[in-house]
A and B are shown apart, each in its own frame.
Chain A
Amino acid sequence: MSPIRRSILVALATALIATVAAPAGAQSTLETVKKRGKLIAGVKTDFPPFGTVDAAGKNVGFDVDVAHRFAKALFNDEQQVELVAVTSGNRIPFLQSSKIDIIIATVTITDERRQVVEFSEPYFMSGSLILVPRASAVTSLDDLGGKTVAVIQGAIQDKDVEQLQPKASRVKFGKVSEAVLALKGGRADAYVHDDIVILSLAKENADLKAVGKTFVPRPYGIAVRKGDTEFINWVNAELKKMHTDGTYDRLWKKYFADVEQFLIKP
Protein backbone atom coordinates (compact mmCIF):
# COMPACT_ATOMS: atom_id res chain seq x y z
CA MET A 1 0.00 0.00 0.00
CA SER A 2 1.29 3.47 -0.84
CA PRO A 3 2.10 5.71 2.14
CA ILE A 4 -0.54 8.22 1.02
CA ARG A 5 -3.32 5.65 0.89
CA ARG A 6 -2.19 4.19 4.18
CA SER A 7 -2.24 7.58 5.92
CA ILE A 8 -5.75 8.31 4.66
CA LEU A 9 -6.91 4.99 6.05
CA VAL A 10 -5.33 5.72 9.42
CA ALA A 11 -7.10 9.07 9.57
CA LEU A 12 -10.43 7.50 8.67
CA ALA A 13 -9.98 4.84 11.31
CA THR A 14 -9.26 7.52 13.90
CA ALA A 15 -12.42 9.34 12.90
CA LEU A 16 -14.49 6.16 13.27
CA ILE A 17 -13.07 5.44 16.71
CA ALA A 18 -13.94 8.99 17.78
CA THR A 19 -17.50 8.45 16.57
CA VAL A 20 -17.95 5.31 18.59
CA ALA A 21 -16.14 6.57 21.67
CA ALA A 22 -17.98 9.89 21.94
CA PRO A 23 -19.00 10.30 25.57
CA ALA A 24 -22.63 10.67 26.51
CA GLY A 25 -22.55 12.75 29.68
CA ALA A 26 -25.80 12.64 31.62
CA GLN A 27 -24.87 15.04 34.41
CA SER A 28 -25.87 18.68 34.16
CA THR A 29 -22.99 21.13 34.06
CA LEU A 30 -24.55 22.78 37.11
CA GLU A 31 -23.73 19.70 39.23
CA THR A 32 -20.18 19.54 37.87
CA VAL A 33 -19.63 23.21 38.63
CA LYS A 34 -20.97 22.90 42.17
CA LYS A 35 -18.83 19.85 42.83
CA ARG A 36 -15.76 21.60 41.44
CA GLY A 37 -16.43 24.70 43.55
CA LYS A 38 -15.63 27.01 40.64
CA LEU A 39 -17.35 28.21 37.47
CA ILE A 40 -15.28 28.26 34.27
CA ALA A 41 -16.60 30.98 31.98
CA GLY A 42 -15.49 31.96 28.48
CA VAL A 43 -15.30 35.74 28.15
CA LYS A 44 -13.88 38.11 25.57
CA THR A 45 -10.67 40.05 26.13
CA ASP A 46 -10.78 42.29 23.08
CA PHE A 47 -14.37 43.49 23.07
CA PRO A 48 -15.04 46.73 24.95
CA PRO A 49 -17.15 47.26 27.01
CA PHE A 50 -18.23 43.61 27.39
CA GLY A 51 -14.89 41.95 27.88
CA THR A 52 -11.44 43.52 27.92
CA VAL A 53 -8.30 43.38 30.03
CA ASP A 54 -7.36 46.52 31.99
CA ALA A 55 -3.87 47.95 32.48
CA ALA A 56 -3.35 45.74 35.52
CA GLY A 57 -4.12 42.61 33.48
CA LYS A 58 -7.52 42.11 35.10
CA ASN A 59 -10.56 41.02 33.09
CA VAL A 60 -13.18 43.76 33.07
CA GLY A 61 -16.47 44.43 31.30
CA PHE A 62 -20.19 43.78 31.35
CA ASP A 63 -19.86 40.06 30.64
CA VAL A 64 -17.09 39.71 33.20
CA ASP A 65 -19.33 41.29 35.86
CA VAL A 66 -22.10 38.86 34.93
CA ALA A 67 -19.65 35.95 35.36
CA HIS A 68 -18.69 37.22 38.83
CA ARG A 69 -22.35 37.63 39.70
CA PHE A 70 -23.00 33.99 38.70
CA ALA A 71 -20.09 32.87 40.91
CA LYS A 72 -21.57 34.81 43.79
CA ALA A 73 -24.95 33.18 43.27
CA LEU A 74 -23.36 29.71 43.17
CA PHE A 75 -20.73 29.92 45.90
CA ASN A 76 -21.50 33.19 47.68
CA ASP A 77 -18.05 34.32 46.51
CA GLU A 78 -17.74 36.26 43.28
CA GLN A 79 -14.09 35.25 42.89
CA GLN A 80 -14.95 31.55 42.42
CA VAL A 81 -14.90 31.92 38.66
CA GLU A 82 -12.11 31.12 36.22
CA LEU A 83 -12.22 33.43 33.22
CA VAL A 84 -11.01 31.90 29.96
CA ALA A 85 -10.27 34.18 27.01
CA VAL A 86 -12.30 33.25 23.94
CA THR A 87 -12.80 34.75 20.48
CA SER A 88 -15.83 34.82 18.21
CA GLY A 89 -14.34 31.89 16.34
CA ASN A 90 -13.33 29.56 19.13
CA ARG A 91 -15.93 30.16 21.85
CA ILE A 92 -18.41 27.49 20.74
CA PRO A 93 -15.70 24.84 20.15
CA PHE A 94 -14.37 25.69 23.65
CA LEU A 95 -17.83 25.00 25.08
CA GLN A 96 -18.33 21.83 23.04
CA SER A 97 -15.00 20.42 24.13
CA SER A 98 -15.80 21.20 27.81
CA LYS A 99 -12.91 23.63 28.21
CA ILE A 100 -15.47 26.05 29.61
CA ASP A 101 -18.86 25.61 31.33
CA ILE A 102 -20.56 28.65 29.89
CA ILE A 103 -20.07 31.33 27.23
CA ILE A 104 -20.67 34.89 28.45
CA ALA A 105 -19.03 36.49 25.45
CA THR A 106 -21.34 38.59 23.28
CA VAL A 107 -22.83 35.62 21.45
CA THR A 108 -25.50 36.77 19.03
CA ILE A 109 -28.41 34.35 19.04
CA THR A 110 -28.84 32.83 15.57
CA ASP A 111 -30.74 29.79 14.33
CA GLU A 112 -27.53 28.09 13.24
CA ARG A 113 -26.00 28.48 16.69
CA ARG A 114 -29.22 27.28 18.32
CA GLN A 115 -28.55 23.91 16.67
CA VAL A 116 -25.36 23.46 18.68
CA VAL A 117 -25.78 25.34 21.98
CA GLU A 118 -28.50 26.16 24.49
CA PHE A 119 -29.21 29.92 24.67
CA SER A 120 -30.47 31.95 27.61
CA GLU A 121 -33.08 34.68 27.26
CA PRO A 122 -31.59 37.70 25.46
CA TYR A 123 -29.57 40.03 27.68
CA PHE A 124 -28.53 42.67 25.16
CA MET A 125 -29.61 43.88 21.71
CA SER A 126 -26.92 44.63 19.19
CA GLY A 127 -26.97 45.77 15.60
CA SER A 128 -23.94 46.36 13.42
CA LEU A 129 -22.04 49.56 12.66
CA ILE A 130 -19.08 50.53 10.50
CA LEU A 131 -15.72 51.75 11.82
CA VAL A 132 -13.60 53.81 9.40
CA PRO A 133 -10.57 56.11 9.56
CA ARG A 134 -11.53 59.67 10.51
CA ALA A 135 -10.78 60.99 7.01
CA SER A 136 -12.88 58.33 5.25
CA ALA A 137 -15.78 59.38 3.02
CA VAL A 138 -17.70 56.18 3.82
CA THR A 139 -21.03 56.85 5.53
CA SER A 140 -23.04 53.69 4.93
CA LEU A 141 -22.99 50.09 3.74
CA ASP A 142 -23.74 51.35 0.22
CA ASP A 143 -20.38 53.12 0.13
CA LEU A 144 -18.51 49.89 0.82
CA GLY A 145 -18.95 48.45 -2.71
CA GLY A 146 -15.51 47.66 -4.15
CA LYS A 147 -13.91 48.37 -0.77
CA THR A 148 -11.98 46.05 1.54
CA VAL A 149 -13.99 45.39 4.68
CA ALA A 150 -12.50 43.79 7.78
CA VAL A 151 -14.70 41.34 9.70
CA ILE A 152 -14.04 38.83 12.47
CA GLN A 153 -13.90 35.14 11.62
CA GLY A 154 -16.92 33.43 13.15
CA ALA A 155 -18.79 36.70 13.82
CA ILE A 156 -22.21 37.24 12.22
CA GLN A 157 -21.02 40.29 10.23
CA ASP A 158 -19.00 37.98 7.96
CA LYS A 159 -22.28 36.70 6.52
CA ASP A 160 -24.17 40.00 6.91
CA VAL A 161 -21.67 41.92 4.81
CA GLU A 162 -21.60 39.13 2.25
CA GLN A 163 -25.38 39.39 1.87
CA LEU A 164 -25.95 43.13 2.27
CA GLN A 165 -22.92 44.39 0.35
CA PRO A 166 -21.77 41.59 -1.97
CA LYS A 167 -19.53 44.00 -3.89
CA ALA A 168 -17.26 44.50 -0.88
CA SER A 169 -14.28 42.19 -0.50
CA ARG A 170 -14.03 40.86 3.03
CA VAL A 171 -10.75 40.31 4.86
CA LYS A 172 -11.16 38.21 7.98
CA PHE A 173 -9.24 38.35 11.24
CA GLY A 174 -9.31 36.27 14.41
CA LYS A 175 -9.42 39.13 16.89
CA VAL A 176 -10.88 42.62 17.21
CA SER A 177 -7.43 44.09 17.91
CA GLU A 178 -6.13 42.69 14.62
CA ALA A 179 -9.02 44.16 12.64
CA VAL A 180 -8.36 47.57 14.24
CA LEU A 181 -4.65 47.30 13.36
CA ALA A 182 -5.60 46.42 9.79
CA LEU A 183 -7.86 49.47 9.62
CA LYS A 184 -5.18 51.77 11.03
CA GLY A 185 -2.52 50.35 8.72
CA GLY A 186 -4.71 50.92 5.66
CA ARG A 187 -5.11 47.18 5.10
CA ALA A 188 -8.89 47.58 5.22
CA ASP A 189 -11.13 50.53 4.32
CA ALA A 190 -13.71 49.72 6.98
CA TYR A 191 -14.39 47.31 9.81
CA VAL A 192 -17.90 46.06 10.46
CA HIS A 193 -18.86 44.59 13.84
CA ASP A 194 -21.42 44.87 16.66
CA ASP A 195 -22.55 48.46 17.28
CA ILE A 196 -21.44 48.50 20.89
CA VAL A 197 -17.84 47.50 20.16
CA ILE A 198 -17.58 49.87 17.19
CA LEU A 199 -18.84 52.76 19.33
CA SER A 200 -16.35 51.94 22.09
CA LEU A 201 -13.48 51.66 19.63
CA ALA A 202 -14.39 55.00 18.03
CA LYS A 203 -14.37 56.56 21.49
CA GLU A 204 -10.97 55.08 22.37
CA ASN A 205 -9.28 55.84 19.04
CA ALA A 206 -9.30 59.45 17.95
CA ASP A 207 -8.19 58.52 14.42
CA LEU A 208 -11.24 56.31 13.86
CA LYS A 209 -14.99 57.05 13.68
CA ALA A 210 -18.21 55.06 13.73
CA VAL A 211 -20.53 55.57 10.76
CA GLY A 212 -23.70 54.09 9.32
CA LYS A 213 -27.13 53.33 10.68
CA THR A 214 -27.33 50.35 13.00
CA PHE A 215 -28.33 47.38 10.84
CA VAL A 216 -29.75 43.90 11.55
CA PRO A 217 -30.27 44.21 15.33
CA ARG A 218 -30.14 40.83 17.06
CA PRO A 219 -30.04 39.71 20.68
CA TYR A 220 -27.04 38.44 22.66
CA GLY A 221 -27.52 35.30 24.72
CA ILE A 222 -25.49 33.37 27.27
CA ALA A 223 -24.75 29.88 26.00
CA VAL A 224 -24.33 26.47 27.62
CA ARG A 225 -23.95 23.01 26.12
CA LYS A 226 -26.78 21.74 23.94
CA GLY A 227 -29.50 19.94 25.87
CA ASP A 228 -28.39 21.15 29.31
CA THR A 229 -31.80 22.59 30.23
CA GLU A 230 -31.15 22.47 33.97
CA PHE A 231 -28.18 24.83 33.64
CA ILE A 232 -29.85 27.19 31.18
CA ASN A 233 -32.94 27.43 33.42
CA TRP A 234 -30.64 28.39 36.29
CA VAL A 235 -28.99 31.05 34.07
CA ASN A 236 -32.37 32.45 33.06
CA ALA A 237 -33.52 32.62 36.68
CA GLU A 238 -30.32 34.50 37.60
CA LEU A 239 -30.74 36.95 34.71
CA LYS A 240 -34.30 37.59 35.89
CA LYS A 241 -33.04 38.27 39.42
CA MET A 242 -30.47 40.69 38.01
CA HIS A 243 -33.29 42.63 36.38
CA THR A 244 -35.51 42.71 39.47
CA ASP A 245 -32.80 43.56 42.02
CA GLY A 246 -31.40 46.42 39.93
CA THR A 247 -28.06 44.79 39.05
CA TYR A 248 -28.79 44.91 35.35
CA ASP A 249 -29.58 48.65 35.43
CA ARG A 250 -26.46 49.31 37.44
CA LEU A 251 -24.27 47.44 34.95
CA TRP A 252 -26.04 49.14 32.05
CA LYS A 253 -25.23 52.58 33.51
CA LYS A 254 -21.68 51.52 34.36
CA TYR A 255 -20.84 50.35 30.85
CA PHE A 256 -23.22 51.92 28.35
CA ALA A 257 -24.16 55.35 29.76
CA ASP A 258 -22.18 57.37 27.21
CA VAL A 259 -23.39 55.48 24.13
CA GLU A 260 -26.89 54.79 25.43
CA GLN A 261 -28.67 56.82 22.75
CA PHE A 262 -27.44 54.39 20.07
CA LEU A 263 -28.53 51.26 21.88
CA ILE A 264 -31.73 49.28 22.08
CA LYS A 265 -32.49 48.40 25.69
CA PRO A 266 -34.15 45.00 26.06
Chain B
Amino acid sequence: MTAYGFEWAAIARGLPYLLEGAGLTVMISSVAMVLALVLGLALAAISQAPGPVARRLVAAYVEVFRNTPLLIQIFIVYFGLPQLGVKLSPFLSGLAALVLYAAAYNTEIFRAGLEAVPHGQFEAARSAGLGELQILRYVIMPQAVRICFPALGNNLVSLVKNSSLVSTIGMVELMFVANDISFNNFRTFEIYGTAAVMYVVIVLALTRLLRAAEGRLLRAPA
Protein backbone atom coordinates (compact mmCIF):
# COMPACT_ATOMS: atom_id res chain seq x y z
CA MET B 1 0.00 0.00 0.00
CA THR B 2 1.20 3.45 -0.82
CA ALA B 3 0.97 6.58 1.27
CA TYR B 4 -1.34 9.22 -0.10
CA GLY B 5 0.60 12.02 -1.74
CA PHE B 6 -1.23 15.29 -2.18
CA GLU B 7 -1.07 16.31 -5.83
CA TRP B 8 -1.34 20.02 -6.59
CA ALA B 9 -1.07 19.30 -10.31
CA ALA B 10 -4.41 17.46 -10.21
CA ILE B 11 -6.05 20.64 -8.90
CA ALA B 12 -4.32 22.78 -11.50
CA ARG B 13 -5.54 20.49 -14.30
CA GLY B 14 -9.07 20.36 -12.96
CA LEU B 15 -9.40 24.05 -12.09
CA PRO B 16 -10.71 25.41 -15.43
CA TYR B 17 -13.45 22.75 -15.53
CA LEU B 18 -14.33 23.24 -11.88
CA LEU B 19 -14.61 27.00 -12.41
CA GLU B 20 -16.89 26.42 -15.37
CA GLY B 21 -19.05 24.15 -13.20
CA ALA B 22 -19.05 26.78 -10.45
CA GLY B 23 -20.36 29.25 -13.03
CA LEU B 24 -23.43 27.11 -13.62
CA THR B 25 -23.86 26.60 -9.87
CA VAL B 26 -23.92 30.38 -9.36
CA MET B 27 -26.29 30.80 -12.30
CA ILE B 28 -28.88 28.19 -11.38
CA SER B 29 -28.71 29.16 -7.68
CA SER B 30 -29.23 32.88 -8.36
CA VAL B 31 -32.17 32.34 -10.68
CA ALA B 32 -33.69 29.84 -8.23
CA MET B 33 -33.14 32.30 -5.35
CA VAL B 34 -34.98 35.16 -7.04
CA LEU B 35 -37.87 32.94 -8.10
CA ALA B 36 -38.10 31.23 -4.70
CA LEU B 37 -38.19 34.63 -2.95
CA VAL B 38 -40.95 35.93 -5.22
CA LEU B 39 -42.97 32.71 -4.95
CA GLY B 40 -42.47 32.45 -1.19
CA LEU B 41 -43.51 36.04 -0.62
CA ALA B 42 -46.55 35.72 -2.86
CA LEU B 43 -47.72 32.53 -1.17
CA ALA B 44 -47.16 33.98 2.30
CA ALA B 45 -49.25 37.00 1.33
CA ILE B 46 -51.96 34.76 -0.12
CA SER B 47 -52.07 32.73 3.09
CA GLN B 48 -53.02 35.94 4.94
CA ALA B 49 -56.19 36.30 2.87
CA PRO B 50 -59.44 36.04 4.84
CA GLY B 51 -61.12 32.64 4.88
CA PRO B 52 -59.56 29.20 5.32
CA VAL B 53 -59.28 28.08 1.65
CA ALA B 54 -56.19 30.05 0.60
CA ARG B 55 -54.45 29.35 3.89
CA ARG B 56 -55.04 25.61 3.63
CA LEU B 57 -53.92 25.41 0.01
CA VAL B 58 -50.69 27.21 0.82
CA ALA B 59 -50.19 25.00 3.87
CA ALA B 60 -50.67 21.88 1.74
CA TYR B 61 -48.04 23.07 -0.74
CA VAL B 62 -45.60 23.84 2.06
CA GLU B 63 -46.08 20.45 3.70
CA VAL B 64 -45.65 18.52 0.46
CA PHE B 65 -42.46 20.24 -0.63
CA ARG B 66 -40.92 20.70 2.80
CA ASN B 67 -41.52 17.12 3.91
CA THR B 68 -40.10 15.29 0.90
CA PRO B 69 -36.42 15.01 0.00
CA LEU B 70 -35.28 17.44 -2.67
CA LEU B 71 -33.66 14.56 -4.55
CA ILE B 72 -37.04 12.87 -4.95
CA GLN B 73 -38.55 16.10 -6.23
CA ILE B 74 -35.74 16.46 -8.76
CA PHE B 75 -36.23 12.87 -9.96
CA ILE B 76 -40.01 13.29 -10.20
CA VAL B 77 -39.66 16.43 -12.31
CA TYR B 78 -36.87 15.06 -14.51
CA PHE B 79 -37.70 11.35 -14.86
CA GLY B 80 -41.33 11.18 -13.77
CA LEU B 81 -43.06 14.09 -15.52
CA PRO B 82 -41.98 13.02 -19.05
CA GLN B 83 -44.05 9.86 -18.53
CA LEU B 84 -47.04 12.16 -18.05
CA GLY B 85 -46.08 14.08 -21.17
CA VAL B 86 -44.40 17.05 -19.45
CA LYS B 87 -40.80 17.22 -20.59
CA LEU B 88 -38.79 20.09 -19.18
CA SER B 89 -35.14 20.51 -20.15
CA PRO B 90 -32.58 19.30 -17.58
CA PHE B 91 -31.93 22.93 -16.57
CA LEU B 92 -35.60 23.74 -16.12
CA SER B 93 -36.22 20.45 -14.30
CA GLY B 94 -33.47 21.18 -11.81
CA LEU B 95 -34.51 24.82 -11.50
CA ALA B 96 -38.19 23.97 -10.97
CA ALA B 97 -37.38 21.49 -8.19
CA LEU B 98 -34.96 23.90 -6.46
CA VAL B 99 -37.47 26.77 -6.63
CA LEU B 100 -40.42 24.72 -5.36
CA TYR B 101 -38.36 23.30 -2.51
CA ALA B 102 -36.78 26.58 -1.37
CA ALA B 103 -40.02 28.52 -1.84
CA ALA B 104 -41.82 26.17 0.56
CA TYR B 105 -39.37 27.21 3.29
CA ASN B 106 -39.48 30.86 2.21
CA THR B 107 -43.28 30.82 2.46
CA GLU B 108 -43.09 29.72 6.08
CA ILE B 109 -40.38 32.25 6.86
CA PHE B 110 -42.33 35.13 5.31
CA ARG B 111 -45.55 33.96 6.97
CA ALA B 112 -43.83 33.96 10.35
CA GLY B 113 -42.57 37.47 9.62
CA LEU B 114 -45.99 38.74 8.57
CA GLU B 115 -47.69 37.24 11.59
CA ALA B 116 -45.10 38.67 13.94
CA VAL B 117 -46.17 42.21 13.09
CA PRO B 118 -48.57 43.27 15.88
CA HIS B 119 -52.20 43.34 14.87
CA GLY B 120 -52.55 46.90 16.12
CA GLN B 121 -50.48 47.99 13.13
CA PHE B 122 -53.22 46.82 10.75
CA GLU B 123 -55.87 48.62 12.73
CA ALA B 124 -53.85 51.82 12.94
CA ALA B 125 -53.13 51.74 9.19
CA ARG B 126 -56.74 51.01 8.40
CA SER B 127 -57.94 53.88 10.52
CA ALA B 128 -55.44 56.11 8.74
CA GLY B 129 -57.38 55.31 5.57
CA LEU B 130 -54.94 52.94 3.82
CA GLY B 131 -56.25 50.16 1.55
CA GLU B 132 -55.39 46.49 2.17
CA LEU B 133 -52.60 46.36 -0.43
CA GLN B 134 -51.18 49.66 0.76
CA ILE B 135 -51.12 48.36 4.30
CA LEU B 136 -49.23 45.26 3.18
CA ARG B 137 -46.79 47.22 1.03
CA TYR B 138 -46.02 50.19 3.29
CA VAL B 139 -46.75 49.07 6.81
CA ILE B 140 -46.51 45.33 7.24
CA MET B 141 -43.89 44.24 4.68
CA PRO B 142 -41.06 46.57 5.75
CA GLN B 143 -41.37 45.26 9.29
CA ALA B 144 -41.94 41.62 8.32
CA VAL B 145 -38.94 41.46 5.98
CA ARG B 146 -36.65 42.73 8.72
CA ILE B 147 -37.88 40.08 11.11
CA CYS B 148 -37.39 37.22 8.70
CA PHE B 149 -34.13 38.34 7.13
CA PRO B 150 -31.75 36.07 9.08
CA ALA B 151 -33.89 32.96 8.50
CA LEU B 152 -34.21 33.87 4.84
CA GLY B 153 -30.44 34.17 4.54
CA ASN B 154 -29.99 30.68 5.99
CA ASN B 155 -32.42 29.24 3.48
CA LEU B 156 -30.65 30.90 0.55
CA VAL B 157 -27.32 29.48 1.72
CA SER B 158 -28.96 26.03 1.81
CA LEU B 159 -30.24 26.60 -1.69
CA VAL B 160 -26.72 27.12 -3.03
CA LYS B 161 -25.52 23.90 -1.42
CA ASN B 162 -28.66 21.98 -2.41
CA SER B 163 -28.06 22.92 -6.04
CA SER B 164 -25.34 20.23 -6.01
CA LEU B 165 -28.17 17.66 -6.22
CA VAL B 166 -28.99 18.63 -9.80
CA SER B 167 -25.70 16.92 -10.73
CA THR B 168 -27.71 13.69 -10.61
CA ILE B 169 -29.71 14.67 -13.69
CA GLY B 170 -26.67 15.44 -15.81
CA MET B 171 -26.44 19.19 -15.12
CA VAL B 172 -22.79 20.09 -15.51
CA GLU B 173 -22.51 22.21 -12.35
CA LEU B 174 -19.75 22.21 -9.74
CA MET B 175 -20.60 18.88 -8.06
CA PHE B 176 -21.01 17.16 -11.41
CA VAL B 177 -17.64 18.39 -12.65
CA ALA B 178 -15.99 17.33 -9.38
CA ASN B 179 -17.46 13.82 -9.78
CA ASP B 180 -16.46 13.71 -13.41
CA ILE B 181 -12.84 14.63 -12.74
CA SER B 182 -12.30 12.52 -9.64
CA PHE B 183 -13.95 9.45 -11.20
CA ASN B 184 -11.30 9.61 -13.90
CA ASN B 185 -8.14 10.74 -12.12
CA PHE B 186 -9.06 9.30 -8.68
CA ARG B 187 -7.62 12.36 -6.88
CA THR B 188 -10.69 12.39 -4.68
CA PHE B 189 -9.36 14.55 -1.86
CA GLU B 190 -7.86 17.21 -4.09
CA ILE B 191 -10.85 17.58 -6.40
CA TYR B 192 -13.68 17.49 -3.85
CA GLY B 193 -11.57 19.68 -1.55
CA THR B 194 -11.24 22.27 -4.30
CA ALA B 195 -14.95 22.08 -5.06
CA ALA B 196 -15.70 22.54 -1.34
CA VAL B 197 -13.53 25.66 -1.25
CA MET B 198 -15.42 27.00 -4.26
CA TYR B 199 -18.77 26.46 -2.50
CA VAL B 200 -17.39 28.33 0.53
CA VAL B 201 -16.37 31.24 -1.69
CA ILE B 202 -19.77 31.35 -3.39
CA VAL B 203 -21.65 31.22 -0.08
CA LEU B 204 -19.37 33.86 1.50
CA ALA B 205 -20.07 36.16 -1.43
CA LEU B 206 -23.78 35.55 -0.96
CA THR B 207 -23.74 36.20 2.79
CA ARG B 208 -21.83 39.45 2.21
CA LEU B 209 -24.46 40.52 -0.26
CA LEU B 210 -27.18 39.63 2.20
CA ARG B 211 -25.47 41.53 5.00
CA ALA B 212 -25.22 44.62 2.80
CA ALA B 213 -28.90 44.31 1.92
CA GLU B 214 -29.82 43.89 5.58
CA GLY B 215 -27.82 46.98 6.47
CA ARG B 216 -29.74 49.01 3.92
CA LEU B 217 -33.04 47.69 5.16
CA LEU B 218 -32.26 48.58 8.75
CA ARG B 219 -31.16 52.07 7.77
CA ALA B 220 -34.35 52.77 5.84
CA PRO B 221 -36.98 54.66 7.86
CA ALA B 222 -39.79 52.45 9.08
Asked if B2 CB lies within 8 Å of chain A CBs, one says: yes
Asked if B188 CB lies within 8 Å of chain A CBs, one says: yes
**Among B30-38, B60-68, B193-201, which stretch is in contact with chain A?**
B193-201
**Contact flags A184-218 to B (C-beta < 8 A → 1, else 0):** 01110000000000000000000000000000000
Chain B contact-residue range equals 20 to 34
B61 CB to nearest chain A CB (Å): 25
Indicate if the CB atoms of B183 and A97 lie closer than 8 Å: no
Q: Is the interface of A mostly helix, strand, loop or mixed?
A: mixed
Asked if A23 CB lies within 8 Å of chain B CBs, one says: yes
Indicate if the CB atoms of B1 and A26 lie closer than 8 Å: yes
Which of B87, B176, B185, B197 is the one whose CB lies under 8 Å from A185? Answer: B87
Chain A contact-residue range equals 35 or more
Asked if B138 CB lies within 8 Å of chain A CBs, one says: no
Indicate if the CB atoms of A97 and B188 lie closer than 8 Å: yes
Residues of A within 8 A of B82 (CB): 185-187
Inter-chain CA distance A16–B190, complex, in Å, is 11
Asked if A7 CB lies within 8 Å of chain B CBs, one says: yes
Residues of B within 8 A of A22 (CB): 3-6
Residues of B within 8 A of A16 (CB): 6
Chain A contact residues, CB within 8 Å of chain B: 3-4, 7-8, 11, 14-16, 18-19, 22-26, 88-90, 92-93, 96-97, 112-113, 116, 153-154, 159, 171-174, 178, 181-182, 185-187, 225-228
Chain B contact residues, CB within 8 Å of chain A: 1-6, 78-79, 82-83, 87, 90, 168, 170, 176, 179-180, 182-186, 188-190, 193, 196-197, 200-201, 204-205
